[in-house]
Amino acid sequence: MLKEVIVNFIGVNYISLILILVLTIFIYVNKEEKPKEIQCFVLIIGLVFIMLFLNFFEKYADGLLKSESMHYSPAEVKKLVRFIYFKAFMEYCIYSGILLLEIVLMTSHRGKRLLFLCIPELLLVIMSGISMCGVPLVYQYDEYGSWVGNTPFHFLPYAVSFIYLFVLTIHSLGLLGKKDGREMGGILLMVVIVTMVTGFLENKGILTGYMDEIVLVDILVYYYYFYSVYRKRIKEELYEKELEMERDKTTLLMAQIKPHFIYNCLAIIRYLCGVDSKMAEETIEHFSDYLRQSMEIITKIDCIPFSDEMKLVDNYLYMEKKRFGEKIRIGKKIEAYKFKIPPLTLQPLVENAVKHGLQGRGRNKAGLVTISAWEENDAYLVMVEDNGVGVDQELLEQKDDQRVHIGIDNVKLRLELMASGTLTIESEPGIGTKAIMRLPKK
């Protein structure tokens, strides 16, 4: 018996089940993209699936009631009729509810406007619920489950559906008026017209049993439209970020090669020329390497080997050591070299550490800057640590030092866009500051 019912259910709803399967596969394939609107698609598919069962079992119950070979007690007949009432209530509420969800998906109606659009659906739910309880407002069946017309508000389900289809029509026409939305606007308008015609033919009894398939085809088209718009928006956001990164290149370069740093380096070289020409020559070589590497690295659009970034850092630290002498000490704990890093991400952190590592130190106390790199199971980590005065975490998040934050924000942006990486800064007053970059393995 159960096997026969299942086979009949699949046979009657074969096309609808195929469409549900296709939609489910599409959603599963795109599961990594998790826009909040995907919940509406899942809900609509679930509602249609419920209607398939209800429609099938209503026909089954109606067949049992009208079968001459079956004899039921008045209590059994009453249960079957109550099921038919329940199915009618669910049908009216679900089909108009699906149209409301389509409006949520396809339009920008939110807040008060969406709340206003929910009023017709709420009215339909209330009045259909009253009809289900036996008061013939929207629909009515006789004691044998046969439809009884001429209820006062029999038009309400069609009126609510028409309101929602009208809203979708206006949205479609709006898309037709936009240069980049004409194609999709035409498709959506066609879908709305087909839905209206199908509903009219169903109401007149000319064409029956196709509404579920039409709804699923609608959702399939809406799904294609939604993901086209969604991916276009993602591409535009990515493009904007890339433009922002390009605009920040000049700012970043100026943040890395500050005029006062160049002046200090030139002053050191001039001093060394008078006391140690060989040391002056070596210092000029490091300084020129630093400038050349900075100019080359800023133009890179891909990640570079960590060793290349370290060469830039070494040249920078060489110049700072010449400037500050024993006031600054450098420590290195490099356990991993063979990975790539976005250009000009480590050097700004080292520069901040040098600056803050010297702050608050007494004359006889050297600032310590430590650079560490190591490998974990799923990522490479790079840490720059100083033993400066540190800062309270809340103050660290403020934008008081705009120049410092420009460098840090650029580092975060480059890590995110070029390596899907993150930057975490931890600081404690009197202890020092840690900046940790995390670069996931590809």
Cβ pair 413, 248 in contact under 8 A:
yes
- Residue 213, pLDDT > 70, answer yes
Q: How many CB atoms lie within 10 A of CB 405?
A: 15
Two tokens, residue 11: 């046979």
Give the alpha-carbon dihedral of 65, 71, 74, 78, to 10 degrees.
Answer: -30
CA distance 291 to 262: 9
CA distance 389 to 386: 9
User: pLDDT band at residue 400, thresholds of 50, 70 and 90?
Assistant: very low
Provide mean pLDDT across the span 9-36.
Answer: 74
Residue given tokens 């540190």 in the structure block? 390
**Strand ranges across the sheet with 367-375:** 328-334, 367-375, 379-386, 432-440, 422-428
Highest mean pLDDT among 193-207, 331-345, 362-376: 331-345
Q: pTM above 0.85?
A: no
Of 394, 376, 391, nearest to 434 (Cα)? Answer: 391
Q: How many CB atoms lie within 10 A of CB 67?
A: 10
Hey, which residues does 370 pair with through a beta bridge?
Answer: 331, 385
CA distance 321 to 279: 13
Amino acid at 126: I
Any idea how long the chain is? 442
Q: Please, what is the Cα angle at 83 between 79 and 84, to 5 degrees?
A: 120
CA distance 120 to 109: 15
Cβ pair 347, 256 in contact under 8 A:
yes
pLDDT for the residue numbered 401:
47
Of 30, 83, 14, 34, nearest to 54 (Cα)? Answer: 83
CA distance 302 to 419: 9
User: pLDDT band at residue 373, thresholds of 50, 70 and 90?
Assistant: very high
pLDDT for the residue numbered 255:
53
User: pLDDT band at residue 268, thresholds of 50, 70 and 90?
Assistant: confident
Q: How many CB atoms lie within 10 A of CB 55?
A: 20
Q: Are strands 328-334 and 367-375 parallel, antiparallel or unpaired?
A: parallel
In the chain, the percentage of residues whose pLDDT exceeds 70 is 79
Q: How many CB atoms lie within 10 A of CB 276?
A: 12
- pLDDT, tens digit, 9 for 90 and up, residues 216-256: 777 777 777 777 766 676 677 776 766 666 556 545 554 55
pLDDT for the residue numbered 259:
63
Name the 3-class secondary structure at 397: coil
The CATH number, out of the four listed (1.20.1070, 1.10.3470, 1.10.287, 3.40.50), of the domain defined by the range 13-238: 1.20.1070
- pLDDT, tens digit, 9 for 90 and up, residues 156-183: 888 998 898 888 888 888 888 877 677 7
Cβ-based neighbours of 96, under 8 Å, separated by 6 or more:
120, 121, 124, 157, 160, 161, 164
> Is domain 257-440 annotated with CATH 1.10.12.10?
no
Of 343, 364, 283, nearest to 317 (Cα)? Answer: 283
pLDDT for the residue numbered 383:
95
Domain locations along the chain: 13-238, 257-440
In the chain, the percentage of residues whose pLDDT exceeds 90 is 11
Cβ pair 19, 217 in contact under 8 A:
yes
What values do phi and psi take at 440, rounded to 5? Answer: -60, 145
Positive or negative: CA dihedral 217, 219, 222, 223: negative
Cβ pair 252, 237 in contact under 8 A:
no
Two tokens, residue 74: 């008045």
- pLDDT, tens digit, 9 for 90 and up, residues 270-292: 878 877 788 888 888 888 887 78
- Residue 136, pLDDT > 80, answer yes
Give the alpha-carbon dihedral of 245, 250, 256, 260, to 10 degrees.
Answer: -150
Q: How many CB atoms lie within 10 A of CB 15?
A: 13
Provide mean pLDDT across the span 256-268.
Answer: 70
Amino acid at 59: K
